Structure 1
Amino acid sequence: MPRLSNATLSQRSAGVSAPSYDRSKVTPGILHFGVGAFHRSHQALAIDTLLTKGLANDWGIIGVGLLPSDKKMEQALKPQDCLYTLITKHPDGRQDFQVIGSMLSYIFAVENPELVLEKLVDPAIRIVSLTITEGGYSFDRVTGEFDPTTPGVKEDLAGSPNPVSAFGFIVEGLKRRKALGIAPFTVQSCDNIQGNGDVAKRMIIEFAKAKDPEMATWISESVAFPNSMVDRITPVTALEDIELASSALGLADHWPVPCEPFFQWVIEDHFPTGRPPFEEANVQMVSDVMPYELMKLRLLNASHQGLCYFGRLSGYTYVHEVMDDPLIVKLLRRYMDEEASPTLSPVPGVNLAEYKDELIERFSNPQVLDTVARLAAESSDRIPKWLLPVVREQLKSDRSVTLSAAIVASWARYDEAIDENGETINVVDPLKEELIAIAKTQRENPLAFVQNKKLFGELSADSRFTEPYLNTLKSLHTAGAQATLAGILG
């Protein structure tokens, strides 16, 4: 089977949509660090939509891979001229196949750092966007302060001859633009972090202070960092997706992207050097992103954590299987209504009840095949940012945290790395060894897990949290997940 590329695109099967625009006439305006599945199902789709409408011919994307593991993405995308298939999977079984053409080139920065810097200095590049995951922003999980010891950043601050981290490239790129009198690009975080633009600005300035204090001041005064909220469930590409896309196209696609139909992107409208007309691609441009992102982080993301540990302990593999369990659905409904919603302010243009109903429907989509394991990964980055703020706000108002505490207890039980049948749980977390070691002591010291101040601060000293936490953990140990849920929910 021939490989998907510019040369073979016209040979694709009927019924598969593809760029109707002339890609050779599109020029880059965005450089993106961290080309994973989410970027390709979300931001790259939005630009592709604009290109199809003839609205963004100078806003094509240059993708950049920073990690040694990104070599695989280069090997998948370069022979395909950066074309790939987006597979939209509807709950009723329908599948839409669309070839996306908005990424014009891909640079593997590990092997070609100078080319990345050359592109960053190009005045045509007016936006540098990021999906580098929470861990890429180099902040302490509890204090929120800059952590100079994270991989990549540590090497950059130690004087690496070429930049290694996204921060290293951004600061060096801005330094060269400043020296040449070229206006700075806008830094657009697209990661799932509350106040992502604010976090990016603060961390990059702290990085610059350690590397080049004069640049830190200039960045603070001259560079825009708009906040944004992103949402689209995009599971890891499975072998079946590769076979599915290649069969539908009649062309071999080595790394397609599956996703759900839902798409949301809310962006703070602050782009001094210009931006694409995002609103023509179903993007909301607003003055304040905060209400939208709090809604998403505390309802969608925290609910993902609510279902994944109880789901795995109950023996489920896929998210839609978990959502067939009425006890877990009841847990999510009650968590959203009783504990998360009271912490939220009104969200302009959003009916909260309808939004919560839509979340249950999205989680239940059997076609997406999102895994419980994906949602449980990197929990030490997620729980402190998504769920613990709900706990703290509820406690501040002296309201119940019973369900939130139960979710934390299910995480603690999950991190014992052995399920209820004695099978190994593959814990994926940057703090894996430390967390498993602590979790394995909690039958003797039931508070051990939440006494980890790096993650939980002083919560272990508040009985309003620890009482339901201890009750749930004890029940998980003695009765199992299903009986525990039945007991909690009445």
Structure 2
Amino acid sequence: MSNFLYLNTENIPSLPKSITTSKVDRDKIKTSIAHIGINNFHRAHQAYYIHELIEKHNEMNFGICGIDLLESDRKLYNILKDQDGLYTLLIKNSNGKHETKVIGSIVEYFYGPENPMATIERIAQPDIKIISLTIAEDGYHLNEITGEFNMKHPEVEEDSLNKFNPRTVFGYLIQVFNLRKKRDLPGYTILSCDNIQSNGDTIKSSFLKYVNKTDSSLLPWLEENISFPNSMVDRITTVTSPIDIEKVKNEHATYDQWPVVCESFSNWIIEDNFMFDKPVWEKVGVQFVKDIAPFENMKLRILNAGHSILGIIGTLSGHTSVHEVANNEDCIVFLENYINNEVTPNIENTETQSISTYKNQVVSRFKNPFINDKLSRICKESSTKIPIFIFPTLTEQLKNKKTIEHSAFVIAAWCKYYDGVDDFKNPFDILDSSSNQLIRTAALSHQNPELFLENNDIFKNLVNHKSFKERFTYYLSKLRSLPIKECLVLMNEKKL
């Protein structure tokens, strides 16, 4: 006989007191948000905020209809269906105080590949007021060179021809909007929550281009009935491991097949540009602002860039997790100097927080030993992350003729990263869609360092800056002749 209970609605009353459970009747929750992309990040962030609003303020009108569109989402779909949309959130504070709670805000669930027309019909129903998205960078199908929507992407082209069996979010949405238009129903707010700068502007630009090519008659209705607010979301969320599943089972006598682990820090900034009603998220800490750019720049250039920098130098130093490298004094001092000397001059304080305060928070969050965030995850697809998180700082420093020493060092370390071995000669996996080319150019850089910079899709105008190429070449030679630990010490002492 098992000594645990399966997580589902029936077993909620019998779960132990060590796990916080829902106090409301979930059957009374009305669905008005269709969320596309039910990944760990959504479940640690947006679904969490809706849950808090329901539990603490009895706001029952903004339940979530979860929607997944990818074949790779089938496992999670099956699990959430089996668990009645319920899952446990493991919130881990750096001081060792942890909270485990059952989140109940996802009250419906659809899987697009199983029945695309049923999914489209559900989103088109009049009760849905907000369509939110966490579809990751790949879901936006942006051109690697221009950053614009890639109409020639194979899946996009297929959707434009095969409209009733879509594969992309654009293919689904155009069918949804056509139904709402034909039925003389109001539109939606499309709320992107992805880690893309100006995410609302990005999805708007991309979708309007898609519609213009496939069904331009819909454009006037879209302009009148759809809004695309920008948003910035901030909460470190890790990949669920078998250890996390066993932890919930052993410590709370509850079997959740896919729990979510996150830190206690959480922030959500949204541009106040909703088409119709919006949840009163401000009651649970969400900020509605006119301009999210200051918040967004601070997060992208400190937290996201910091993650990538620690991922690269940490991997080369032989570390495997974020908290390990963040507690390495040489590495964290290097990061702090990068932020102070090169990032800070190019961003401004937000309405509610100073750069210095945010930097200190980020460093503390990185050091959290209970968030076992792997460097392999941080470094995954770094060819798309580095240009977004680090190049803007580097470009502005070059433009203003200011120091680029730390930025150039990071790019040189990134080149060495593609050699595929750390300073102890231990190999590591490189997970990057551009890895073949970058591994090749990194190998060529042993003879001519500038060959690593030959990919104009990634480096763009940076290859034309003589001072950048000189500093990159210098630091690459040092990294290839000295251990990275020694290089970091010398950098921190201003002796390199």
Question: Is TM > 0.5 for Structure 1 vs Structure 2?
Answer: yes
- Cα distance in 1, alignment partners of residues 413 and 10 from structure 2: 51
Indicate the residue corresponding to 1:412 in structure 2. 415
Q: 1:380 deviation in Å?
A: 1.5
Q: Equivalences for 1:192-207 in 2 at 5 Å?
A: 192-207=195-210
Q: Which runs of 4+ in 1 moved over 4 A?
A: none
Equivalent residue, structure 2, for 1:58: 61
Asked whether the equivalents of residues 94 and 369 of structure 2 are also in contact (C-alpha less than 8 Å), the reply is yes
Is residue 3 of structure 1 aligned with residue 6 of structure 2? yes
Alpha-carbon offset, residue 463 of structure 1:
1.9
Letter in 2 for 1:322: V
| Matched-pair contact (CA < 8 Å) for 1:475–1:484 | yes
The whole-number CA distance in structure 2 between the counterparts of 1:475 and 1:40 is 43
Shift of 1:346: 2.9
Instruction: Determine which of 279, 283, 289 is the counterpart of 1:280.
Output: 283
- Equivalent of 1:343 in 346, 361, 371: 346
Match of residue 444 from structure 1? 447
2:303 corresponding residue in structure 1: 300
What CA distance in whole angstroms lies between the structure 1 residues aligned with 2:413 and 2:104?
Answer: 42
CA distance in 2, matches of 1:110, 1:432: 30
CA shift for structure 1 position 55: 4.2
Return the alpha-carbon distance in structure 1 between the equivalents of residues 488 and 342 of structure 2. 17
Which residue of the other structure, out of 164, 175, 178, is the alignment partner of 1:175?
178
In structure 1, distance between residues paired with 2:146 and 2:124: 34
Shift of residue 468, structure 1, vs aligned partner: 1.8
Q: Is the 8 A contact 1:186 1:225 kept in 2?
A: yes
In 2, distance between residues paired with 1:389 and 1:137? Answer: 21
1:100: how far off?
A: 0.1
Cα distance, 1:433 vs structure 2: 2.0
Structure 2 SS opposite 1:110: helix
- 1:410 positional shift: 1.4
Equivalent position of 1:232 in the other structure: 235
Counterpart-to-counterpart distance in 2, 1:453 and 1:242 = 44
Match of 2:438 among 435, 440, 451: 435
Q: Percent of counterpart pairs with the same letter? A: 36
Q: Tell me if structure 1 keeps the 8 A contact 2:5–2:15.
A: no
1:201-280 correspondence runs (5 A): 201-280=204-283
Which residue does the alignment assign to 1:110?
A: 113
**Count of residues in Structure 1 that have an aligned counterpart in Structure 2:** 490
Deviations 1:235-267 (A, max 9, x none): 101111111122233121000000000000000
d(CA) in 2 for partners of 1:480, 1:217: 60
Deviates more, 1:435-444 or 1:176-185: 435-444
1:424 aligned onto 2:427:
yes
Contact 1:206 1:216 in 2 (8 A): no
In the alignment, which of 31, 34, 44 is matched to residue 31 of structure 1? 34
**Is 1:74 matched up with 2:81?**
no
Paired with 1:321 and 1:468, the residues of 2 have a C-alpha distance of 28
Residues 1:16 and 2:25 are matched in the alignment:
no
For residues 418 and 67 of structure 2, the distance between their equivalents in structure 1, rounded to whole angstroms, comes to: 34
Q: Secondary structure at the match of 2:273?
A: coil
The CA deviation string for residues 467-486 of structure 1, in whole angstroms up to 9 with x for no partner, is: 22112211221113112212
Q: CA deviation at 1:222?
A: 3.0
* Deviation, structure 1 residue 217: 4.3
1:350–1:54 Cα change, 3 Å: closer
> Quick one: which of 121, 136, 156 aligns to 2:159?
156
Secondary structure at the counterpart of residue 266 of structure 1: strand
Q: Assess if the C-alpha contact under 8 Å between 1:414 and 1:425 holds in 2.
A: no
User: Do 1:13 and 1:248's aligned partners in 2 also have CA atoms closer than 8 Å?
Assistant: no
- Contact 1:97–1:248 at 8 Å: present in 2 too? no
| Corresponding position of 2:406 | 403
Kindly provide the amino acid, as one letter, of the partner of residue 379 in structure 1: S
Provide the rounded CA distance (Å) in 2 between the counterparts of 1:174 and 1:238.
38
Structure 2 unaligned residues grouped into runs of 5+: none
Q: How far has the Cα of 1:149 moved from its partner? A: 3.7
Q: Which moved more, 1:460-469 or 1:41-50?
A: 460-469
When normalised by structure 1's length, the TM-score is 0.97
Query: Is the CA contact 1:295–1:344 (under 8 Å) kept in the aligned structure 2?
Result: yes
Which moved further from structure 2: 357-366 or 338-347? 338-347
The amino acid across from 2:477 in the alignment is K
Residue 100 of structure 1 aligns to which amino acid in structure 2? Answer: I
The answer to whether the Cα contact below 8 Å between 2:312 and 2:413 also exists between their aligned partners in 1 is yes
Q: Which of 280, 285, 293 in structure 2 is aligned with 1:290? A: 293
User: Hey, what's the Cα distance between the residues in 2 that align with 1:314 and 1:219?
Assistant: 51
- The answer to whether the Cα contact below 8 Å between 1:305 and 1:407 also exists between their aligned partners in 2 is no
Q: Any idea what the Cα deviations from partners look like across 1:363-405, whole Å, max 9, x if unmatched?
A: 0000011111111111121111111011111111111111111
- Displacement after TM superposition at 1:166 (Å): 1.0
Q: Equivalent residue for 1:122?
A: 125
Q: 1:436 Cα deviation (Å)?
A: 1.9
Q: Which amino acid aligns with 2:351?
A: P
| Partner Cα distance (2:487, 2:161) in 1 | 50
Matches of 1:481 and 1:18, distance apart in 2: 48
CA distance in 2, matches of 1:208, 1:246: 48
Kept after mapping to 2: 8 A contact 1:29/1:124 = yes
SS of match in other structure, 1:295: helix
Rounded Cα–Cα distance in structure 2 between residues aligned with 1:166 and 1:247 = 39
> 1:142–1:384: 8 Å Cα contact kept in structure 2?
no
SS in 2 for 1:53: helix
User: Counterpart of 1:470 in structure 2: which amino acid?
Assistant: T
Change beyond 3 A, Cα 1:151–1:374: farther
Name which of structure 1's ranges 288-297 and 426-435 shifts more when overlaid on structure 2.
426-435
> Closer, same or farther in 2 for the Cα pair 1:351/1:345, shift >3 Å?
closer
TM-score (norm 2): 0.96
Q: Distance in 2 between matches of 1:396 and 1:159?
A: 46
The 10-residue stretch of structure 1 (425-434 or 378-387) with the greater mean CA deviation from structure 2 = 425-434
Partner Cα separation in structure 2 for residue 271 and residue 165 of structure 1: 24
Aligned equivalent of 2:394: 391
Q: Secondary structure at the match of 1:457?
A: helix
